[in-house]
Amino acid sequence: MKSGGWKIGNTVQSIKTYHIDLPEKVRFILDRLLLNGYEAYAVGGCVRDILLGKEPQDWDITTSAKPMQVKALFPHTIDTGLQHGTVTVICRHEGFEVTTYRIDGEYGDGRHPNEVIFTPNLLEDLKRRDFTINAMAYNDQHGLVDEFDGASDLRRGIVRCVGNPSDRFHEDALRMLRAVRFSGQLGFAIEKQTQEAVKSLAGNLDKISAERIQTELVKLATSPHPEQMRTLYELGITRVILPEFDHMMETEQNNPHHCYTVGEHTIHAMCNVIPDKVLRLTMMFHDIAKPLCRTTDESGRDHFYGHPLMGAKIARQIFRRLKFDRDTMDAVCALVRWHDYNPALTEKKVRRAMIETGEAQYPSVFAVKRADVLAQSSYKRQEKLDYVDEYEKIYHKILEQGNCLSLKQLKVTGRDLKQLGIKQGKQIGDILKMLLEQVVEDPDRNEREYLLKQVRLYLDGDSYEKPEAEQS
Ligand code: ATP
Ligand code: MG
């Protein structure tokens, strides 16, 4: 026996007949640990996914060996979280998290429990895990270790806490959001007692860090069942982590274009786009300002003037609060801002819309608009869809024509203007913008000679000496 480590020999009930075809690298790591007298199992999400017939995203390993003992056995390791027992073992350019059996204290703040006690007992380690479906372990020697009936919950499609749900949610409130996230990813129901505990303890989610909430919310939003956002609302979770969503759920839309509350419309719209992070978040937030922008006219009809612009602002505040990365925030906010913009269907107007919206997000605009229309009432639906089709056709035509849509595509540059004697950066910028305006009107104007002539005409009519004269 290695000093400080534990030998195989804890009695665990296992289903020996169960066989998982472990990837070669995982088997190599498990074998090396086993050969050196430690216990080692594949554990958690990977076992769950294999039992579901899905390809696991990553393979986590749990072992009786302490972190330093793991490090001693493998030439390439990274100290991922030694104090929490995690070492990443690098096996031919691929990393595998190997974590010592542990009992967790409370999860005070961030990703990790305040206090971790290593244990020689696999069952103690499995007991600290969140749900029965995530608390199974496997190795070739012992087969499947499934102390909490995870396999049968998998078969029945149930997310159920390991042990007493209230205790488990008191230890780590994030688990409540994770329960709904897994139900969205797997299409599972949440077991009754687990649900009841969420209802009474959802308030504790206010102690959880923004980063952890963001991760789970994105996983739910991009899952096969984004409609589980409804469960987040019903269980009182959004009230704590995203109260703006509750306002949407509670805002009626008395308008022939709509047949749902803003929140229900939002949920349907999320289901109408592919599970892409930017698209799903755009649909989640596209009408976020409607509760604030709602007015009712004398005939009792609701209007939501200005909601896209205001929505982009509110979405930005939410993204900041949840500590999202800048790229996601900018992409989603641009789409929220322009989701309801309907240019006249001429090349000129569409070119202008493309410049205003920003080309990078443009292809997504059409998916967003279709998802939005399909989540509305059937009133004028075909007309609206025809409009989007035609809009998209014109967009593609503009791209094929290679029309100039930015200053850098102009056939005249800032340097040309300098050579004409214009010194001020601001004036150069203004003139280039004016030229772009002209070219957007008619792409044939993007000819060097024509544009230089326009500059000369401009300078003759509006002496470029003037700004300097004004300065003095
Ligand atoms: P994914 O496929 O999304 O990675 P996963 O089940 O692997 O799903 P992770 O968040 O990677 O989820 O966690 C790995 C395992 O660690 C889980 O399967 C579970 O056993 C355990 N676990 C993770 N977070 C918690 C938590 N907050 N409380 C208890 N156990 C947890
Ligand atoms: Mg994982």
Contacts 24+ apart (CB under 8 A), 12-19: 12/122, 12/123, 12/142, 12/145, 12/147, 13/145, 13/147, 14/142, 14/143, 14/144, 14/145, 14/146, 15/143, 15/144, 15/146, 15/151, 16/142, 16/143, 17/143, 18/138, 18/143, 18/144, 19/140, 19/143
Rounded Cα distance, 30 and 103, in Å: 21
pLDDT of residue 470: 38
CA of 96 to the centre of ligand 1 (A): 14
CA of 213 to the centre of ligand 1 (A): 14
pLDDT of residue 462: 55
Rounded Cα distance, 50 and 360, in Å: 38
pLDDT of residue 356: 85
What ligand 1 atom has the least distance to the C-alpha of 56? 2
273: its two tokens: 């786009």
What ligand 1 atom has the least distance to the C-alpha of 171? 28
**pTM for the predicted model, two decimal places:** 0.91
CA of 57 to the centre of ligand 2 (A): 7
- With CA atoms as reference, report the closest residue to 446 among 455, 460, 436, 456: 436
Is ligand 1 within 6 A of the CB of residue 375?
A: no
- The preferred substitution site among 46, 51, 130 for testing ligand 1, maximizing ligand atoms within 8 Å of CB, is 130
Per-residue pLDDT of 316-330, as tens digits, reads 999 999 999 999 999
Residues of the chain with pLDDT under 50: 1-10, 110, 463-472
Burial grade of 369 (CB within 10 A; 0-12, 13-18, 19 or more): buried
Rounded Cα distance, 235 and 95, in Å: 37
pLDDT of residue 75: 97
CA of 94 to the centre of ligand 1 (A): 20
In the structure, ligand 2 is a single-atom ion and the residues with CB under 5 Å from it are: 45
Beta partners for 60?
A: 43
pLDDT of residue 13: 64
Rounded Cα distance, 332 and 148, in Å: 41
Give residue for tokens 């004036």. 427
Q: Whose CA is nearest to atom 25 of ligand 1?
A: 130
CA of 45 to the centre of ligand 1 (A): 6
What are the φ/ψ torsions at residue 77 (nearest 5 degrees)?
A: -140, 160
pLDDT of residue 109: 56
* pLDDT above 90 as % of the chain: 87
- 20 neighbors 145 (Cβ within 8 angstroms): no
Closest ligand to 208 CA?
Answer: 1
Is ligand 1 within 6 A of the CB of residue 134?
A: yes
Is ligand 1 within 6 A of the CB of residue 175?
A: yes
Per-residue pLDDT of 374-402, as tens digits, reads 999 999 999 999 999 999 999 999 999 99
How many C-beta atoms lie closer than 10 Å to residue 465's C-beta? 9
Is ligand 1 within 6 A of the CB of residue 212?
A: no
